[in-house]
């Protein structure tokens, strides 16, 4: 792109959003060139509109200039979904932070995309309602980003992920048109595009408003922690619970590395010599939670649990969840850098897959921590390392091997983080050319020019080729062909 064209686009964006809400100098765009992953690429410019109309005008301005657009929320994503490949313009939804309505009768929240996830439940609580999806980043991650990646969280086991709780969206399309998909009325006629939009990672448009399903607060909640001598016995207990026909609200696993890190960081008094811990929560009527708790405790003991700690108060419950929700920052005390995947594997294969993950980390000389949604098989192996001593190439290679083990066990590439730029080349491991072509046709129905968040989800192409980690991952995907 010529300097004159770029300058004209920046001036157009400033006329729409105001000079204070457009960033184009290198020192200003620095914080927008990455998310919580490793990929980095500076955007051509960043616009921070205040409403749907300004977003639509920004999209049209970029389209007229022949520039691609990358939607961005809080930037907490882990798959490179907000990296501006190919000199794209980033359009941030950070200023759209209004909760427009909590309809207690219809159990619907109408919110802007920049509203943090946890604020929706906080606003709904006085009405006896809550918003179920609860990613670990829910204090800071926003609804728009949660929709883009189809975020889940610990309670997705019982309640499902974002796609099960988004009723409708208002969205700016790639040509700048504003459209509404879905609705709050049941059994709407015609095609339901909402499930296609949820999880599309910003490749179909920019969500500017969402109608979210709210659920009634459960009458009773029981939270407890079962301690096991090793990961394998804890995994057997998790499978036994599901096999009994009990579906907890959440069922999480922490391994020894995570347990010790959380103890050191937050003094939650977990047993230092435990090989793994199973954090289980059940919700519902008191009669239901009481019988489920008794059955789960018995099943854990049958599989070798050395003790079960039951939260007797809300404060104790919050302490147990603190160990899970703040596990990742605690692990930073071990090594300053980390790389996490979110592949999904069948529960029956979990022990063997975890053995393979640990063996891969040992072979490459990295510490690995496993803290994940064991109830639905959503792994989160976290490689811990120090880039002052280790190479990013080695980390990427070890991560690709872990991903390959998960796929060969019958698993999936991603459970909630999305494909983005991180795993796009590995899509060939799971989908054939015909499958990928069908997906591309669906995208092209919204964005025939491929101008919305280019280089994400789909393998191939050179849009993001200038990013060093992109070249590394492409080589690994092709070299480890499944």
Give the pLDDT of residue 4.
77
pLDDT digits (tens, 9 = 90+) for 103-153: 999 999 999 999 999 999 999 999 999 999 999 899 999 999 999 999 999
Alpha-helical regions (H) of 326-421:
327-331, 350-364, 392-408
DSSP state of 142: B
Closest CA to 295 of 235, 229, 234, 237: 237
Domain 99-216: which CATH class? alpha beta
CATH topology identical between 99-216 and 220-331: no
**What is d(CA 453, CA 457) in angstroms, rounded to the nearest whole number?**
10
Architecture of domain 220-331 in this structure: 2-Layer Sandwich (3.30)
Give the pLDDT of residue 319.
84
Q: Locate the domains of the chain by residue range.
A: 3-92, 99-216, 220-331, 337-479
Region of poorest pLDDT, from 73-77, 95-99, 143-147, 310-314: 310-314
pLDDT digits (tens, 9 = 90+) for 440-469: 999 999 999 999 999 999 997 788 988 988
Token pair 């009325």 is found at 185
CATH fold label, 3-92: 3.30.43
Give the pLDDT of residue 1.
66
**What is d(CA 278, CA 285) in angstroms, rounded to the nearest whole number?**
23
**What is d(CA 158, CA 405) in angstroms, rounded to the nearest whole number?**
27
pLDDT digits (tens, 9 = 90+) for 162-215: 999 999 999 999 999 999 999 998 888 889 999 999 999 999 999 999 999 999
Architecture of domain 337-479 in this structure: 2-Layer Sandwich (3.30)
Q: Could you tell me which residues come within 8 angstroms of residue 75 by beta carbon, excluding any fewer than 6 positions away?
A: 31, 32, 34, 35, 36, 82
**pLDDT-derived band at 86, boundaries 50, 70, 90:** confident
Length of the chain: 482
Give the pLDDT of residue 133.
97
15 pLDDT more than 90: yes
């Amino acid at each position: 792109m010529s300097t004159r064209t770029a300058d004209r686009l920046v001036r157009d964006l400033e006329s729409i959003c105001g000079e204070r809400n457009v960033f184009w100098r290198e020192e200003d765009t620095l914080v927008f060139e990455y998310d919580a992953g490793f990929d980095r690429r500076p955007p051509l410019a960043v616009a921070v509109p205040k409403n749907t109309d300004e977003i639509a005008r920004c999209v049209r301005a970029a389209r007229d200039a022949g520039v691609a657009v990358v939607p961005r929320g809080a930037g907490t994503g882990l798959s490179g979904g907000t990296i501006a490949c190919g000199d794209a313009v980033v359009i941030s939804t950070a200023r759209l932070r209004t909760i427009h309505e909590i309809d207690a009768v219809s159990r619907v929240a109408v919110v802007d995309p920049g509203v943090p996830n946890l604020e929706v439940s906080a606003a709904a609580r006085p009405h006896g309602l809550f918003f179920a999806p609860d990613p670990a980043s829910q204090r800071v991650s926003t609804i728009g980003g949660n929709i883009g990646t189809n975020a889940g969280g610990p309670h997705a086991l019982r309640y499902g992920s974002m796609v099960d709780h988004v009723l409708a969206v208002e969205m700016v399309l790639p040509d700048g048109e504003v459209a509404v998909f879905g609705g709050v009325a049941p059994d709407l006629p015609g095609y339901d595009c909402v499930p296609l939009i949820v999880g599309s990672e910003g490749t179909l448009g920019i969500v500017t408003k969402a109608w979210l399903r709210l659920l009634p607060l459960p009458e009773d909640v029981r939270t407890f922690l079962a301690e096991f001598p090793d990961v394998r016995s804890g995994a057997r207990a998790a499978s036994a619970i599901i096999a009994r026909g009990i579906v907890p609200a959440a069922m999480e696993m922490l391994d020894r590395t995570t347990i010790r890190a959380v103890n050191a960081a937050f003094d939650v008094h977990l047993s230092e010599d435990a090989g793994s811990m199973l954090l289980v929560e059940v919700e519902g009527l008191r009669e239901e939670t009481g019988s489920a708790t008794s059955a789960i405790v018995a099943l854990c003991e049958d599989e070798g649990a050395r003790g079960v700690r039951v939260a007797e108060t809300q404060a104790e419950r919050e302490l147990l969840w603190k160990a899970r929700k703040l596990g990742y920052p605690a692990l930073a005390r071990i090594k300053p850098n980390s790389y996490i995947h979110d592949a999904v594997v069948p529960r029956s294969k979990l022990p063997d897959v975890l053995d393979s993950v640990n063996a891969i980390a040992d072979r490459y000389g990295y510490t690995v921590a496993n803290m994940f949604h064991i109830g639905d098989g959503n792994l989160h192996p976290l490689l811990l390392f120090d880039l002052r001593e280790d190479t990013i190439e080695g980390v990427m290679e070890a991560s690709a091997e872990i991903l390959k083990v998960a796929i060969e066990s019958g698993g999936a590439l991603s459970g909630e983080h999305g494909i983005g730029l991180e795993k796009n080349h590995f899509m060939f491991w799971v989908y054939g050319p015909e499958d990928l072509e069908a997906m591309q046709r669906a995208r092209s129905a919204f964005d025939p020019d491929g101008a919305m968040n280019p280089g994400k989800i789909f393998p191939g192409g050179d849009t993001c080729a200038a990013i060093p980690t992109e070249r590394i991952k492409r080589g690994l995907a092709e070299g480890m062909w499944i």
